[in-house]
C-alpha cells in the first residue's frame, strides 16, 4: 500500500523536478494528482513513463490525500496550504512562508529528521532555502565533532534559483553579446547577468544585508544550532543550474583537515572530491542531475583559531528544493504515516 500524493505547481522548474525525483527514487505512490493555476490548466507533465494532466488547484479537494508537495510560491501557499492541511493532507512547502514559524518544522533530513514529529501542530513542514540546504548538510557532521562557533559563507548562486524567466534572461543576454544588433535589457535582475555577477539576491534589509543572506542565518540557526554565528554574502552568477559556496568555519575545538575530510566522506548526502591537483574539485556544471552535495577544497585556515575552509556545490533544483522535499516525504512516510 502506497500514498496518495499531490504535487502543486507541477508545471514549474521545481514541480517538474519533484515529479522526476518521486519517479527516480521509486516513492510508493498509489495515486498522484498534479495541480497548477488556471493559466497552466490542462498542461501535460511527465511522471516516469506516465503523462499526467494538471488539475485546477482552486477547485481541488485535498480530502483523503496523504501529502502535498507545494512549489507555488509564498502568496499562493498562503491561500492553499491551510486548505490542504485542514483537509488532513500534510503539506511539504518549498516556499519561504512557513520556514520561520515556530510551529512548523524546517527540515533537512540528513541534519534534523527527528523534527518531523512537530508537523502535527499545523500539518505543514517547511523546506529550507536552497543555499541553506546544501550548506547545513556539510555543517552538521562537523558541528557534531568539534562544535562550530562561526560561519562565513559566500555563495555563487545559479539563475535557476530565480525560475524559468531568469534562465531565459541569461540565455538571451548571452546570445545578444555575440550579436551587436541585439540588446536584452534586464527584467528579472537589476543588472545584466550574462558575463557578470550580481551581489544582490532578494530585497535589501535595513542593516544592508539582503533577505537571502538573512535566510541563511536564520535557517542555519533553526536547523543546526541557534548558537552558531553566521554571516553570508549571496551572489548571483551566470550559471544555469547549481549553487556553489565558499565556506569558512571556526570551531570551538581543533579539527584537523584530514579528520574533517574523513567525517564528511562518511556523512549522509555528501560526496567528497578533494584532490590537490588540476580538476580535483567539483564545479556546478558537474553536479547537475545528481542527488549529492559535493565538498572540495578542504583545508585549514591558519588566520583564526580552529579554522577550516571548504567548497560546497549542489544542484539547487534537487537538494535545494525538489530532492529535499521528496526526502522529507520519505521520512514522513517512514516515521509517521507508515503506509508505504
3-state secondary structure of 297: strand
* 296 annotated to bind ligand: no
- How confident is the model at residue 340, as a pLDDT? 60
CA Rg, the chain, in Å?
Answer: 20
- How confident is the model at residue 38, as a pLDDT? 85
What is the domain range of residue 99? Answer: 3-127+321-336
pTM: 0.94
Whether residues 140 and 285 share a domain: the answer is yes
Whether residues 208 and 61 share a domain: the answer is no
312 catalytic? Reply is no
130 catalytic? Reply is yes
3-state secondary structure of 295: strand
* 12 annotated to bind ligand: yes
Q: Is residue 181 part of a domain?
A: no
Q: Give every residue of the chain whose pLDDT is below 70, as ranges.
A: 340
Which residues partner with 106 through β-bridges?
Answer: 126
Q: Is residue 168 part of a domain?
A: no
Alpha carbon dihedral 239, 245, 246, 250, in 10-degree steps, equals 170
* 327 annotated to bind ligand: no
- For residues 222 and 100, what is the distance between their CA atoms, to the nearest angstrom? 8
Whether residues 135 and 7 share a domain: the answer is no
* 220 annotated to bind ligand: no
Whether residues 293 and 220 share a domain: the answer is yes
Whether residues 66 and 153 share a domain: the answer is no
Whether residues 150 and 293 share a domain: the answer is yes
Q: Is residue 182 part of a domain?
A: no
**Residue 91 maps to which CATH number?**
3.40.50.720
Whether residues 85 and 139 share a domain: the answer is no
- For residues 8 and 87, what is the distance between their CA atoms, to the nearest angstrom? 15
Q: What is the domain count for the chain?
A: 2
**89, 143, 234, 243: which one is catalytic?**
243
Amino acid at each position: 500500500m502506497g500514498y496518495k500524493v499531490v504535487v502543486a505547481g507541477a508545471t514549474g522548474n521545481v514541480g517538474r523536478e519533484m515529479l522526476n525525483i518521486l519517479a527516480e527514487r521509486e516513492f510508493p505512490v498509489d495515486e498522484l494528482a498534479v495541480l497548477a493555476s488556471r493559466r497552466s490548466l490542462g498542461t501535460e507533465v511527465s511522471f516516469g513513463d506516465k503523462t499526467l494532466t494538471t488539475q485546477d488547484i482552486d477547485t481541488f479537494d485535498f480530502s483523503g490525500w496523504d501529502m502535498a508537495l507545494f512549489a507555488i510560491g509564498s502568496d499562493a501557499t498562503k491561500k492553499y496550504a491551510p486548505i490542504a492541511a485542514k483537509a488532513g493532507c500534510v503539506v511539504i512547502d518549498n516556499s519561504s512562508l512557513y520556514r520561520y514559524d515556530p510551529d512548523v518544522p524546517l527540515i533537512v533530513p540528513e541534519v534534523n529528521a527527528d523534527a518531523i514529529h512537530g508537523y502535527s501542530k499545523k500539518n505543514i513542514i517547511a523546506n529550507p532555502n536552497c543555499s541553506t540546504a546544501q550548506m547545513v548538510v556539510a555543517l552538521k557532521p562537523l558541528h557534531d565533532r568539534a562544535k562550530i562557533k562561526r560561519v562565513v559563507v559566500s555563495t555563487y548562486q545559479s539563475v535557476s534559483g530565480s525560475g524559468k524567466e531568469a534562465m531565459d534572461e541569461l540565455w538571451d543576454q548571452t546570445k545578444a553579446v555575440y550579436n551587436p544588433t541585439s540588446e536584452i535589457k534586464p527584467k528579472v535582475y537589476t543588472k545584466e547577468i550574462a558575463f557578470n555577477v550580481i551581489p544582490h539576491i532578494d530585497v535589501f534589509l535595513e542593516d544592508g544585508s539582503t533577505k537571502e543572506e538573512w535566510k541563511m542565518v536564520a535557517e542555519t540557526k533553526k536547523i543546526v544550532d541557534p548558537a552558531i554565528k553566521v554571516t553570508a554574502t549571496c551572489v548571483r552568477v551566470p550559471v544555469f543550474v547549481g549553487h556553489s559556496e565558499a565556506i569558512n568555519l571556526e570551531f570551538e575545538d581543533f579539527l584537523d583537515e584530514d579528520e574533517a575530510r574523513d567525517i564528511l566522506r562518511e556523512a549522509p548526502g555528501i560526496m567528497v572530491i578533494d584532490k590537490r591537483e588540476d580538476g580535483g574539485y567539483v564545479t556546478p556544471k558537474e553536479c547537475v542531475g545528481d542527488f549529492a552535495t559535493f565538498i572540495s577544497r578542504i583545508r585549514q585556515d591558519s588566520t583564526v583559531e580552529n579554522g577550516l575552509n571548504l567548497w560546497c556545490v549542489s544542484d539547487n533544483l534537487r537538494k535545494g528544493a525538489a530532492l529535499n522535499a521528496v526526502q522529507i516525504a520519505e521520512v514522513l512516510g517512514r516515521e509517521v504515516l507508515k503506509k508505504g
